[in-house]
């Protein structure tokens, strides 16, 4: 069993797939803390977790034969930790498939049945990818250096490794804070999250945040991996598996504005307090470094809206972390059943689409429609 070396996991996680391991925390636990505890952080593996000896580990920084710039580098963990300045950044990671089950409920899609919790936030410590690339001789504006590919050390039985890429420009940007991370929330990276080294690409879809990083390749092309070329792309709702042409869509990088209600849960009976109010909670986040500036909540299926209270972290520059939100919301009088809705606005005044159907796509990615939770009102 190639999965026999996988680590043990917290039993409270909702498992979407055991082998490879994919799981999310219960939504109401997810928003109990601004920083998600490591054992509750969602886990998304495509392959068995590789067993890596930290003493033998080497990160290889490569270039294709045609490229003149740069020099190959081999870095041990100690090299990484001592040769470059330490950098810490709080980043929310979200899988492109977060909330896929709502898309699947409209019309079948192919993919894991994620609920609302394929998203989590951690404080990551590592070194800037930029500093490593500068050390390898790359400068900001050299030709032929369009992309930076990442190769994981996890592989399938044919030896094919997980891989993805981002633009060279993003990799070199100081503002974008792309990190080679070896710590997560004050501990060394857990096995499930890429021990001993992973990439953190703030504001960008989870799939580019390559875990168990073994090799970096600066190149003219994007990663040729399946996950860069033939997956993690968006399509028109009428494209099906017979007509899809993966080369016609760009790979997802920055993610759109997102929010969800984590409390109460769908189908729950809510009990208003003596003021006729209940507590509604959730998260909101946007990609590309855009900050969440407002979350609107409706208790009557979208007729009227109230602004929720936001909590988050103060930060200079681009914003990479989510905001948690809550509201003491008035329950409509004499209502027996209500639909609670949330929708967020980011600093670019981007808003969420109101329904899923117009953004439906065959792979079930990028669902950021208004989140609706139907509940019963108790005494
Ligand atoms: N990196 C490797 N090497 N192998 C993987 O399967 N999964 C990707 C990304 N990096 C993956 C990977 C996907 S799709 C996501 S959403 C994130 O890791 C999930 O990161 P997490 O498990 O730390 O939450
Ligand atoms: Mo993902």
What's the CA dihedral at 113, 229, 247, 148 to 10 degrees? 130
Residues contacting residue 118 through CB under 8 Å, at least 6 positions apart: 24, 42, 44, 94, 95, 97, 98, 99, 206
> Are the C-beta atoms of 16 and 114 separated by less than 8 Å?
yes
- List where CATH 3.90.420.10 sits in the chain: 14-248
CA angle centred on 178, ends 174 and 182, rounded to 5°: 130
Which of 325, 332, 324, 326 minimizes the C-alpha distance to 277? Answer: 332
**Rounded CA separation 363/369 (Å):** 16
pLDDT tens column, 174-223: 999 999 999 999 999 999 999 999 999 999 999 999 999 999 999 999 99
Output the CA 329–ligand 2 centroid distance in Å.
33
Question: What per-residue confidence (pLDDT) applies to 172?
Answer: 96
Mean pLDDT of 118-133: 98
Cβ–ligand 1 distance for 232 under 6 Å, the answer no
- List where CATH 2.60.40.650 sits in the chain: 258-377
**Rounded CA separation 65/204 (Å):** 29
State the DSSP code for 97: T
| pLDDT bracket for residue 143 (50, 70, 90) | confident
Please state the length of the chain: 379
Question: What per-residue confidence (pLDDT) applies to 69?
Answer: 83
Cβ–ligand 1 distance for 181 under 6 Å, the answer no
Peptide bond into 18 cis (omega under 30): no
**Residue 113 pLDDT exceeds 80:** yes
Q: Specify the 3-state DSSP secondary structure of 89.
A: strand
Cβ–ligand 1 distance for 151 under 6 Å, the answer no
Question: What per-residue confidence (pLDDT) applies to 70?
Answer: 86
Pocket test for ligand 1, best of 13, 209, 363 (most atoms within 8 A of CB): 209
258-377 CATH choice from 3.60.20.10, 3.40.50.620, 3.40.50.300, 2.60.40.650: 2.60.40.650
Question: What per-residue confidence (pLDDT) applies to 239?
Answer: 98
Bridge partners (DSSP) listed for residue 43: 23
Q: Which ligand is nearest to the CA of 91?
A: 1
**Residue 159 pLDDT exceeds 80:** yes
Pocket test for ligand 1, best of 10, 44, 47 (most atoms within 8 A of CB): 44
Phi, psi of 182 (to 5 degrees): -125, 0
**Residue 379 pLDDT exceeds 90:** no
pLDDT tens column, 317-347: 999 999 999 999 999 999 999 999 999 999 9
Q: Percent of the chain scored above 70 by pLDDT?
A: 100
**Residue 67 pLDDT exceeds 90:** no
Question: What per-residue confidence (pLDDT) applies to 230?
Answer: 97
**CB-neighbour burial class of residue 349 (10 A; exposed 0-12, middle 13-18, buried 19+):** exposed
Question: What per-residue confidence (pLDDT) applies to 64?
Answer: 81
Atom of ligand 1 nearest to the CA of 152: 3
Mean pLDDT of 276-292: 98
**Rounded CA separation 270/48 (Å):** 41
**Residue 145 pLDDT exceeds 90:** no
**Rounded CA separation 76/57 (Å):** 6
Cβ–ligand 1 distance for 205 under 6 Å, the answer no
Q: What are the tokens at 289?
A: 């470094």
Mean pLDDT of 264-273: 97
**Residue 153 pLDDT exceeds 80:** yes
Pocket test for ligand 1, best of 207, 208, 216, 223 (most atoms within 8 A of CB): 207
Cβ–ligand 1 distance for 152 under 6 Å, the answer yes
Conformational region of residue 378, where left means phi above 0, alpha means psi within -120 to 50, and beta covers everything else: beta
Which of 173, 252, 163 minimizes the C-alpha distance to 216? Answer: 163
Atom of ligand 1 nearest to the CA of 42: 24
Question: What per-residue confidence (pLDDT) applies to 177?
Answer: 98
CA angle centred on 39, ends 38 and 43, rounded to 5°: 85
Cβ–ligand 1 distance for 184 under 6 Å, the answer no
Output the CA 175–ligand 2 centroid distance in Å.
24
Question: What per-residue confidence (pLDDT) applies to 146?
Answer: 94
**ipTM of this predicted complex?**
1.00
Q: What are the tokens at 244?
A: 């899809």
Bridge partners (DSSP) listed for residue 327: 280
Mean pLDDT of 1-23: 97
Half-sphere exposure of 299 (CA within 13 A, CB side): 25
Cβ–ligand 1 distance for 198 under 6 Å, the answer no
Q: Which ligand is nearest to the CA of 93?
A: 1
Question: What per-residue confidence (pLDDT) applies to 238?
Answer: 97
Phi, psi of 247 (to 5 degrees): -75, -10
Q: Specify the 3-state DSSP secondary structure of 279.
A: strand
Mean pLDDT of 264-286: 97
Cβ–ligand 1 distance for 132 under 6 Å, the answer no
Question: What per-residue confidence (pLDDT) applies to 63?
Answer: 83
Cβ–ligand 1 distance for 42 under 6 Å, the answer yes
| pLDDT bracket for residue 66 (50, 70, 90) | confident
| pLDDT bracket for residue 292 (50, 70, 90) | very high
Atom of ligand 1 nearest to the CA of 154: 3
Question: What per-residue confidence (pLDDT) applies to 175?
Answer: 97
| pLDDT bracket for residue 144 (50, 70, 90) | confident
**Residue 65 pLDDT exceeds 90:** no
Mean pLDDT of 289-308: 98
Domain 14-248 architecture: Alpha-Beta Complex (3.90)
Question: What per-residue confidence (pLDDT) applies to 185?
Answer: 98
**Rounded CA separation 323/205 (Å):** 17
Q: What are the tokens at 76?
A: 């041990």
Residues contacting residue 251 through CB under 8 Å, at least 6 positions apart: 165, 222, 228, 229, 232, 233
**Residue 274 pLDDT exceeds 80:** yes
């Amino acid at each position: 069993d190639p999965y026999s070396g996988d680590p043990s996991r917290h039993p409270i996680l909702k498992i979407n797939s055991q082998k490879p391991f994919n799981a999310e925390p219960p939504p109401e636990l997810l928003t109990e803390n601004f920083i998600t505890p490591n054992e509750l952080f969602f886990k998304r593996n495509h392959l068995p977790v590789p067993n890596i000896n930290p003493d033998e580990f080497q990160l290889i920084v490569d270039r294709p034969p045609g490229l003149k710039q740069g020099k190959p580098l081999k870095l041990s963990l100690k090299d990484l930790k001592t040769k470059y300045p330490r950098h810490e950044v709080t980043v929310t990671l979200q899988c492109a498939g977060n909330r896929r089950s709502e898309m699947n409920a409209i019309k079948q899609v192919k993919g894991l049945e994620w609920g609302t919790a394929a998203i989590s936030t951690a404080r990551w410590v590592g070194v800037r990818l930029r500093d490593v690339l500068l050390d390898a001789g790359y400068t900001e504006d050299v030709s032929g250096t369009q992309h930076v590919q990442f190769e994981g050390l996890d592989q399938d039985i044919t030896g094919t490794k997980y891989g993805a890429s981002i633009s060279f420009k993003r990799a070199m940007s100081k503002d974008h804070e792309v990190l080679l991370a070896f710590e997560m929330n004050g501990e060394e990276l857990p096995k499930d999250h890429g021990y001993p080294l992973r990439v953190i690409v703030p504001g960008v879809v989870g799939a580019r945040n390559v875990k168990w990083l073994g090799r970096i390749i600066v190149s003219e092309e994007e990663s040729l991996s399946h996950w860069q070329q033939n997956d993690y792309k968006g399509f028109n709702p009428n494209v099906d598996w017979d007509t899809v042409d993966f080369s016609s869509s760009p790979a997802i990088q920055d993610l759109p504005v997102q929010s969800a209600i984590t409390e109460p849960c769908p189908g729950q009976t809510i009990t208003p307090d003596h003021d006729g109010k209940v507590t509604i909670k959730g998260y909101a986040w946007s990609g590309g470094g855009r900050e969440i500036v407002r979350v609107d909540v409706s208790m009557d299926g979208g007729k009227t809206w109230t602004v929720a209270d936001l909590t988050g972290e103060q930060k200079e520059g681009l914003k990479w972390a989510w905001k948690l939100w809550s509201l003491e919301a008035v329950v409509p009088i004499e209502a027996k059943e209500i639909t609670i809705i949330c929708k967020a606005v980011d600093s670019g005044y981007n808003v969420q689409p109101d329904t899923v159907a117009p953004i439906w796509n065959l792979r079930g990615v990028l669902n950021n429609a208004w989140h609706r939770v139907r509940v019963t009102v108790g005494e």
